[in-house]
Amino acid sequence: MFDIPCVILAGGKSSRMEEDKCFLSYKNTTLIKYQYDKLSNLFSNVYISAKSDKFGFKCNLILEKSDIFSPLVALQNILKSHKEVFIISVDTPNIEEKSIKQIILNSYNFDISIAQTKDNKTHNLCGVFKNSINYKIDEMIKDNNHKIFYLIRNSKSNIIKNFNNSEFINLNTKEDYYSILKSQ
């Protein structure tokens, strides 16, 4: 088991999906319950970051009090109470344990360590984030800059390459969702 806490980001609007991704049916349960159970088998502490307790099952929550829907605001809130965390979004259910381990093992000398797939796409919300970046997050929010990649580019970051594309499929649209269901 990994000692670093894991936080599932589940406080977004899901505007492209047109319904809350958390409650999509996935492998005989909801997507959020699937992720929580899967990650609870890998991490000693798993949390869900969200705007409210909407899940209907017992879980550890980190509630966001801000009206702003932004992963950066979620990170700000999470890193106030954690020295370092493994962050993953609710809509990335295919990640494998070996990939999580690789990210964590390559994070020790960096403020941020994220995955990059073989198609050269960085996955900004899948990786290790440390509270040493709090001051940058505070500045960015003050400047109304909510771009995660700006934070990554302007921090001591490690972009870990060559992960399989299939592990990092994000369920952003109905088409993405139907596609992943067909591949099960």
- Ordered by where they begin, the domains of the chain are 6-182 (3.90.550.10)
> Closest Cα partner for 20 from 34, 6, 32?
32
Q: How far is CA 95 from the centre of its chain?
A: 11
pLDDT at 77 over 80: yes
Most confident of 19-23, 74-78, 155-159, 172-176: 155-159
Average pLDDT over residues 31-39: 94
Q: What is the pLDDT of residue 113?
A: 97
pLDDT at 179 over 90: no
Q: Confidence class of residue 16 from pLDDT cuts 50, 70 and 90? A: low
Return phi, psi of residue 79, to 5°.
-75, -5
In SS3 terms, the chain reads as CECCCEEEECCCCCCCCCCCHHHCEECCEEHHHHHHHHHHCCECCEEEEECCCCCCCCCEEEECCCCCCCHHHHHHHHHCCCCEEEEEECCCCCCCHHHHHHHHHCCCCCCEEEEEECCCCEEEEEEEEEHHHHHHHHHHHHCCCCCHHHHHHCCCEEEEEEECHHHHCCCCCHHHHHHHHHCC
CA distance 11 to 142: 20
CA distance 71 to 167: 21
Q: What is the pLDDT of residues 57-71, one digit of tens each?
A: 899 888 787 777 788
> Closest Cα partner for 166 from 118, 126, 127?
118
Rounded to 5 degrees, what angle do the CA atoms 19, 14, 166 make? 105
Average per-residue pLDDT for the chain: 87
Q: Of residues 164 and 39, which shows the higher confidence score?
A: 39
Q: What is the pLDDT of residue 31?
A: 85
pLDDT at 99 over 70: yes
pTM over the 0.85 mark: yes
Q: Confidence class of residue 19 from pLDDT cuts 50, 70 and 90? A: low
Q: What is the pLDDT of residue 13?
A: 47
Q: Confidence class of residue 18 from pLDDT cuts 50, 70 and 90? A: low
What one-letter code names the amino acid at 48? I
